[in-house]
Structure 1
Amino acid sequence: MRILPALVIAASLAAPPVFADEDAVGLKPEQIGQIFCLSRTGSDEGAISGLLTPELTAAIADAWARNDAWIAANPPDEKPPLGDGIQWQAWPDYAPDCTVGLATLMKTDAKVEISYAFPDSPDANFTDTLLLRRVVNEASLLEQWRIDNVAYATGGDLRTALTEAFEAP
């Protein structure tokens, strides 16, 4: 029974409180960044699908619907606009290392740096930024952090990329 108090003390020391985040429940911005990194290095978008704002979820669904319409209207040997999937990061290359950097918290939004590293090519390293927003969970009526966009190291962002993928070159 002495193990439980020791674990509680250790957990409280490992996760200091963040005052700007005191009204939100659930995952902290840094934890969302960690899940995002696991998703990227594991090539599994399913891990983040429940961590998106309803607006970003709708924008992605719309992009997939537009992609399906494009496929139906074009020859099968042409690559569709989302042929490589959703552009979750600035560069499409698989980065073997993904780490969470600085998290900046405001009252209703947060930014979490996501750094991608290529051990064999360090010049290719880059850092994108998750843009989080607090949204009300309709089931619990409590606010939770959710991914609302990704700002790319190249200056663009995910929402813009979803739209521009369908614009004629």
Structure 2
Amino acid sequence: MRHLTITGILPLLLVSAMPAHAQMATIEPEQIAEIFCISSVGNNMAPVEALFSSDLQALVAEAWEKNAAYEAANPGDKPPLGDGLPWRTWPDYADGCTAGEGVAERELAHVDVTYTFSEAPDATYSNTLVLRPATFVDGANLEWRIDDIDLGEGQTFRSVLAGAFAP
């Protein structure tokens, strides 16, 4: 009978301790919209900002820098982002938010989010999250990121941010 020594067992133990190479789960456009809704109703948009495209992250960081410069130059005045980022068409707090079904193409996805108000049921409105892929690596899962928000009537998250600092 053959006896296994530590040198014979060690490689087997090391191989069995290695993590499996499973594919990472992809967050679907609808799930991003659900995160957006939960964050909106919870009044904490930090999880949403983590889902921004790198381009949108840079744009928001630049807007906050401009806002800080405005505050420094105009003490006591309300700065352009005094009410925060323009997450939705109306800044009023909506106590309900529902994610719609996503429509995805290779380079673009859209998902509606509908805001509701328990005290004013007729005030319901929708905005659309515009998602773009973060990566397209052969064989890898597609990673969606929020690249803009269509606020309706020709306005977007990006255009409102840019307009807040227009001369």
> TM-score over 0.5 for the alignment?
yes
Give the Cα separation in 1 of the matches to 2:38 and 2:47.
8
C-alpha distance 61-92 of structure 1, shift in aligned 2 (>3 A): same
Give the Cα separation in 1 of the matches to 2:58 and 2:123.
32
1:105–1:111 Cα contact (<8 Å) kept: yes
Secondary structure at the residue paired with 1:88? coil
Correspondences of 1:113-132 after superposition (within 5 Å): 113-132=112-131
Give the Cα separation in 1 of the matches to 2:25 and 2:107.
13
Secondary structure at the residue paired with 1:31? helix
Secondary structure at the residue paired with 2:115? strand
Q: TM-score, normalised by structure 1?
A: 0.79
1:100-151 CA-to-partner distances (Å, cap 9, x unmatched) read 013111111100000001122122110000000011289xx75300000000
Secondary structure at the residue paired with 1:51? coil
Give the Cα separation in 2 of the matches to 1:160 and 1:153.
11
Mind listing any 5+ residue stretches in structure 1 that lack a counterpart?
A: 1-23
* Percent identity over paired residues: 40
- Alignment root-mean-square deviation, CA: 1.9
Mind listing any 5+ residue stretches in structure 2 that lack a counterpart?
A: 1-23
Give the Cα separation in 2 of the matches to 1:63 and 1:137.
28
Give the aligned partner of residue 164 of structure 2. Answer: 165
Give the Cα separation in 2 of the matches to 1:77 and 1:137.
47
- Please state how far the C-alpha of 1:65 moved relative to its aligned partner: 0.4
Max radius of gyration: which structure?
2
Greater than 6 Å deviation, 4+ residue runs: none
Q: TM-score, normalised by structure 2?
A: 0.80
- How many equivalent residue pairs? 142
Give the Cα separation in 2 of the matches to 1:47 and 1:154.
27
Give the Cα separation in 2 of the matches to 1:82 and 1:158.
13
1:1-20 CA-to-partner distances (Å, cap 9, x unmatched) read xxxxxxxxxxxxxxxxxxxx
